[in-house]
Amino acid sequence: MKALYVKTYGCQMNVYDSARMADLLAPLGYAPADAAEGADMVILNTCHIREKAAEKVYSELGKLKKLKEAKAKDGGRMMIAVAGCVAQAEGEEIVRRQSAVDLVVGPQSYHRLPEMIARIARSGGQALETDFPVEDKFDALPVQTGVEGPAAFLTVQEGCDKFCTFCVVPYTRGGEFSRPAAQVLDEARRLVELGAREITLLGQNVNAYAHDDWTLARLLHALARIDGLARLRYTTSHPRDMTDDLIAAHRDLPQLMPYLHLPVQSGSDAILEAMNRQHSADDYRRIVERVREARPDLALSSDFIVGFPGESDKDFDDTMTLVREVGYAQAFSFKYSKRPGTPASAARKQIPEEVKSARLAALQALLSEQQAAFGKSCEGRTLCVLFEKPGRREGQAVGRSPYLQPVHVEGAAALIGQVRDVTVVEAQPNSLKGVLSQ
Ligand code: SAH
Ligand code: SF4
Ligand code: F3S
């Protein structure tokens, strides 16, 4: 057996892709390892979304180069592959800057890894594949032979046609593409046979899913009929694609968890316009209202960017106001990061770093307050928890609430893989403590 170490950065779609790359390499004799030291193959599955994320890759490659040299001294060979969105965006530069890299493969062409490896093994040198091939990557991937736990990811949609002015995704992942429903349903059934009890449907714009007559709502209805599949989720959604049938699915499908990650980015109409989000802050408020009408216990999450070019104090206040009005169970927030080739990176009114930092601190303080209040509001409630893995202490198990909060329960280790009612006894900063309900 050869050792394969995969390090994953970025979003859940990368997590899914990393697992699929491991599936793809298993027939070649590669088995997953926990560390890069001594591995025969190391894959960095990278993210290009912000500058910091992309920079990490080069420093990581510097460290890997040393491990590769150490392995060569012992007469072994470590292959280094860079996959994911940095590979797509900066493939040529990676090959040029780091001679230790053997392979560069983009998110749409990683199904070609086995032939690339064979080619290098035969003739040496570096291999680069970053086109968006015409063949279906998903058709070329082998069937899954295992799941990492009872909560599985399933990519149903890739790419993006929205072109928000700050974002690299349309360039790194290409245009919107939705997998055929039959293929998705087959994969879901297989995941359930392998032990999955919950599936999260993934896509950069998952609610733009469209294949033949299928919408995301129809897909969720079909998935809800799979025996043994207890819980469904989907992420990430764009406000513009929150259609009536999808909102109704939150009312009609008990399997669909009452939690929605719906990024708004900003509460200012001027900034939303400059970002090309194609909706106003009030449009977003109305959508939130309608989803909450459909499912009153629904909890919300979002992404925010502060310090987008031209953002005034007033624009930022509008974001704070929107956050106060909506009330989030959880959220991600980022300083605007200039990305090469995106329209916003060329805007003249860039915001100074210290202003970005101050705004981010203020927003994060408010969001943490809301997250803590939401946790507190769960105390005394009975929530259904899917137990995913052992906790740190003997006999303890950790699961997730419907709202994605980690829940720790003592004496529940035997329940991993099961969905059980848990009474929340205490909210901690990033998790809940519970006891099994009788
Ligand atoms: N498709 C999703 C977002 C994918 S990227 C959507 O439209 O909501 C995940 C998050 O990263 C975004 O929601 C945004 O908040 C953040 N992000 C993207 N580009 C960024 C940039 N240039 N600077 C800072 N944050 C960014
Ligand atoms: Fe990026 Fe906007 Fe597409 Fe989301 S919708 S992936 S933020 S371009
Ligand atoms: Fe990052 Fe690519 Fe995902 S840029 S956020 S890994 S789609």
Percent of the chain clearing pLDDT 90 (strictly above): 92
Q: Which of 238, 264, 272 to mutate to test the pocket of ligand 2 (most atoms within 8 A of CB)?
A: 238
Inter-residue contact 236 to 263 (CB < 8 Å): yes
Q: Is the pLDDT of residue 402 over 90?
A: yes
Of ligand 3's listed atoms, the one at least distance from the Cα of 45 is 6
- Of 50, 172, 205, the one to substitute when testing ligand 2's pocket (max ligand atoms within 8 A of C-beta) is 205
Q: How far apart are CA 267 and CA 261, in angstroms?
A: 16
Exposed/middle/buried for 269, CB within 10 Å: 0-12, 13-18, 19+?
middle
Tens-place pLDDT, residues 199-211: 999 999 999 999 9
Question: Mean pLDDT over residues 167-173, rounded?
Answer: 95
- Taking residues 359-385, report their average pLDDT: 98
Res 134: pLDDT: 67
Peptide bond just before 423 cis, omega within 30 deg:
no
14 lines ligand 3 (CB under 6 A): yes
Question: Cα–Cα distances in Å, from 396 out to 78, 92, 305, 376, 408?
Answer: 38, 48, 37, 22, 7
Among candidate residues 225, 288, 295, the one with its CA nearest the CA of residue 262 = 288
pLDDT reported for residue 213: 96
For residue 351, the CA-to-ligand 3 centroid distance in Å is 24
So what's the architecture of 382-436 in CATH?
Answer: Beta Barrel (2.40)
Which residue has tokens 């949609």?
157
Tell me the pLDDT band of 287, cut-offs 50, 70 and 90.
very high
Tell me the DSSP string of 185-227.
HHHHHHHHHTT-SEEEEE-TTGGG-EETTEEHHHHHHHHHTST
Which sequence spans correspond to the domains of the chain?
2-129, 137-377, 382-436
Q: Tell whether ligand 2 has an atom less than 6 A from the beta carbon of residue 169.
A: yes
Q: Which CATH class is domain 137-377?
A: alpha beta
Ligand positioned closest to the Cα atom of 308: 1
Instruction: Tell me which ligand sits closest to the C-alpha of residue 203.
Output: 1
Mean pLDDT (whole number) for 326-355: 97
* Confidence label for 145 from pLDDT (cuts 50, 70 and 90): confident
Fold of 2-129: Rossmann fold (3.40.50)
Q: Encode pLDDT of 188-242 as tens digits.
A: 999 999 999 999 999 999 999 999 999 999 999 999 999 999 999 999 999 999 9
* Distance from Cα 339 to the centre of ligand 3, integer Å: 13
Nearest atom in ligand 2 to the alpha carbon of residue 238 is: 5
Mean pLDDT of 117-126: 89
Average pLDDT over the chain, rounded to whole?
Answer: 96
Cα–Cα distance for residue pair 90/327, rounded to 1 Å: 39
Ligand whose nearest atom lies closest to the CA of 303: 1
Taking the whole predicted model, whether its pTM rises above 0.85 is answered as yes
